[in-house]
Amino acid sequence: MERLVYEECDSTCKSTREFYPRAWPCATLFMKRCAPRLSPLATRNGWPFIESIDLYAAKSGEELVKKQSFVFEDRGGDLVTLRPELTPSLARMIAAKQGELNFPLRWWSFGPFWRYEQPQKGRAREFFQWNVDMLVSIHPKRMPN
């Protein structure tokens, strides 16, 4: 059986990270320690890593879309972006199922995001973010007793 050898190289995209097998336990420490404590308070959910650029153009503004997002054309000709923030995706998901959801909602997630910004100390183009969202309904019939 051939042994896998991991060697560092300079071929990664600017301001992104690689997690070699030895480093991966440190990278996942947050999930190991925080997820069990948060789970009784909120429900974990997931979001797509790519979204239509139109969603972000409508909800986040021109600067995010034109200057800070990784935007590309998919094979079908649609413009999509690597998720630069969560709020538009969250709003889209809530709107799609608003008649089926029981409010208040307590959702959390943890994952990668991407911003095409000038790399700086402590700020990378690829970053991990912990999101905790609580949403309530202002519709009187949907309010909890």
> What pTM was computed for the model?
0.76
47-90 pLDDT, tens digit each = 899 999 999 888 787 888 888 999 999 999 999 999 999 999 99
Torsion sign over Cα 27, 30, 32, 33: positive
Pick 24 or 52 by higher pLDDT. Answer: 52
Dihedrals φ, ψ of 90, to 5°?
-60, -45
86-104 pLDDT, tens digit each = 999 999 999 999 889 988 9
pLDDT band at 23 (very low <50, low <70, confident <90, very high): confident
Pick 98 or 139 by higher pLDDT. Answer: 98
> Rounded to an integer, what distance in angstroms lies between the CA atom of residue 99 and that of residue 127?
33
> Rounded to an integer, what distance in angstroms lies between the CA atom of residue 111 and that of residue 94?
19
Dihedrals φ, ψ of 34, to 5°?
-90, -35
pLDDT beyond 80 at 3: no
- Could you identify the residue written with the tokens 């690689």? 18
> Rounded to an integer, what distance in angstroms lies between the CA atom of residue 73 and that of residue 52?
10
Pair 132, 30: CB distance under 8 Å: no
